[in-house]
Structure 1
Amino acid sequence: MGGPNLEVFKFAIYVFFPVAMMLHYGDPDWYRKHVLTYKDRIFPPDERLVTTLPTDQSALKAELSKIRERNAERRAKEREEYSS
């Protein structure tokens, strides 16, 4: 069918394509430029992460009220920006 030249070409593609992708996307400069710039958009900042979960009902209600206040502030800010 294709012969040995085709097999050598296919082997070269199978070996060098993953190596080329690793070299391109594994470059620290590329990572810093394309990934870290979107990290803040995707993941919340560390100060907003809740690492200790509420264990009783009063702590849960307090946490929910904080979340609701934050959401209300954000909605008010968005409405203000939209109306301007």
Structure 2
Amino acid sequence: MGGPNLEVFKFAVYVFFPVAMMLHYGDPDWYRKHVLTYKDRIFPPDERLVTKLPTDQSALRDELAKIRARKAERRAEKEREQEEGTA
């Protein structure tokens, strides 16, 4: 079929490909440039995390009202920006 040269080539690929990938993606500069820049998009900052969950129904309703108000505010702001952009 391929002979010993093919087997040597395949062995070299099997050994050196993972090493090359580790050297490329394990570089600290590459990590800082490509991974840490997206960290805040993937994991929210601690101040945005809700650690104290509401336990009774009235607290839950209050929290839902706050969330809906923030969402409506963002939506209104977005609509204002779109109107300013088209005008």
TM-score by length of 1: 0.87
Aligned length: 84
Q: Matches of residues 27-38 of structure 1 in structure 2 within 5 Å?
A: 27-38=27-38
Once the two structures are TM-superposed, the CA of residue 12 in structure 1 deviates from its matched residue by 0.9
How far apart in 2 are the matches of 1:35 and 1:69? 33
Once the two structures are TM-superposed, the CA of residue 40 in structure 1 deviates from its matched residue by 2.4
Q: Matches of residues 1-80 of structure 1 in structure 2 within 5 Å?
A: 1-80=1-80
Q: Percent identity?
A: 83
Unaligned runs of at least 5 residues, structure 1: none
Counterpart secondary structure, 1:55? coil
Root-mean-square deviation (Å): 1.3
How far apart in 2 are the matches of 1:17 and 1:36? 25
How far apart in 2 are the matches of 1:82 and 1:46? 31
* 1:36-56 Cα shifts (integer Å, max 9, x gaps): 212223333321111222111
Unaligned runs of at least 5 residues, structure 2: none
